[in-house]
Chain A
Amino acid sequence: MRLHEYQSKQLFAKQGVPIPRGEVAETPAQVRAIAEKLGGAVAVKSQVLVGGRGKAGGIRLAKSPEEAEQLAAGIFELEINGLPVRKILVDEAAEISTEIYLGVTNDRTQGSPVLIASAEGGVEIEEVARTHPDKIARAWVDPLIGLRDYQARNLAAAMELPRQHWSEFSQMARGLFDTYWNSDATLAEINPLVITRQDQLLALDGKIVIDDNALYRHPELEQLRDLDEEAPSEREARGLGLSYVKLEGNIGCMVNGAGLAMATMDVIKGLGGEPANFLDIGGGAAAEKVAAAIQIILADPEVNSMMFNIFGGITRCDEVARGILMGLEQVPREVYLVTRLVGTNEELGRKILADAKMDTASSLVEAAEMVIEAAKMGVTE
Chain B
Amino acid sequence: MSILIDKDTRVLVQGITGREGLFHASQMLDYGTQVVAGVTPGKGGDWVLDGKVPVFDTVERALAATGANCSVLFVPAKFAGDAMLEAGDAGVPLVICITEGVPIQDMMKVRRYLDQEGVRLVGPNCPGLLTPGESKAGIIPGRIADLGSIGVVSRSGTLTYEVLYALQQAGLGVTTCVGIGGDPISGTRFTDALQMFEDDHHTEAVVMIGEIGGEEEERAADFISSSMTKPVVAFIAGQSAPPGKRMGHAGAIIEAGSGKAADKVAALQSAGVSVAENPEAIPELLN
Residues on the A chain within 8 Å of B206, using CB: none
- Residue A302 CB within 8 A of the other chain: no
Interface residues in B188-225 (C-beta closer than 8 Å to A):
209, 211-212, 214-216, 219
Interface window among B9-17, B87-95, B236-244: B236-244
Interface window among B28-36, B52-60, B62-70, B138-146: B138-146
CA distance A26 to B78 in the complex (A): 38
CA distance A108 to B249 in the complex (A): 14
Q: Which of B157, B238, B257 has the most CB of A within 10 A?
A: B157
Interface residues in A91-121 (C-beta closer than 8 Å to B):
106, 108-109, 111-113
Name 11 A/B residue pairs within 8 A (Cβ), A-sorted. A109-B216, A111-B108, A111-B185, A143-B109, A214-B103, A243-B247, A257-B161, A259-B160, A263-B162, A266-B278, A270-B278
Nearest CB of chain B from residue A318's CB, rounded to whole Å: 16
B77 touches A278 (CB 8 A): no
Interface residues in B222-256 (C-beta closer than 8 Å to A):
235, 237-242, 245-252, 256
Instruction: Enumerate chain B interface residues (CB-CB to A < 8 A).
Output: 23, 27, 77-78, 101-109, 111-113, 139-141, 144, 154-162, 165, 182, 184-185, 209, 211-212, 214-216, 219, 235, 237-242, 245-252, 256-257, 261, 277-280
CA distance A348 to B77 in the complex (A): 35
- Residue A33 CB within 8 A of the other chain: no
**A109 contact from B155, B182, B219, Cβ within 8 A:** B219
**B238 contact from A109, A111, A217, A262, Cβ within 8 A:** A262
**B237 contact from A111, A266, A275, Cβ within 8 A:** A266
Interface string of A252-282 (1 = CB under 8 A from B): 0001111111110111111000010010100
B165 touches A311 (CB 8 A): yes
Provide the main secondary structure of the chain A interface. mixed
Nearest CB of chain B from residue A254's CB, rounded to whole Å: 13
CA distance A342 to B164 in the complex (A): 12
- Given contacts A262-B238, A266-B278, is CB(A181)–CB(B159) below 8 Å? no
A313 touches B209 (CB 8 A): no
Nearest CB of chain B from residue A274's CB, rounded to whole Å: 9
CA distance A270 to B240 in the complex (A): 9
Nearest CB of chain A from residue B29's CB, rounded to whole Å: 15
Interface string of A178-191 (1 = CB under 8 A from B): 00010010100000
Interface string of A359-374 (1 = CB under 8 A from B): 0000111000000000
- Given contacts A259-B155, A270-B239, is CB(A144)–CB(B216) below 8 Å? no
- Residue A344 CB within 8 A of the other chain: yes
B103 touches A259 (CB 8 A): no
Residues on the B chain within 8 Å of A108, using CB: 184-185, 214-216, 251
Residues on the B chain within 8 Å of A217, using CB: 103
Interface string of A290-321 (1 = CB under 8 A from B): 00000000000000000000010110000000
- Residue A54 CB within 8 A of the other chain: no
Size bin of chain A's contact surface: 35 or more
Residues on the A chain within 8 Å of B211, using CB: 259, 262
Nearest CB of chain A from residue B262's CB, rounded to whole Å: 11
B107 touches A262 (CB 8 A): no
- Residue A142 CB within 8 A of the other chain: yes
A265 touches B240 (CB 8 A): yes
Residues on the B chain within 8 Å of A260, using CB: 156-159, 162, 237
- Given contacts A260-B162, A278-B241, A311-B158, is CB(A213)–CB(B103) below 8 Å? yes
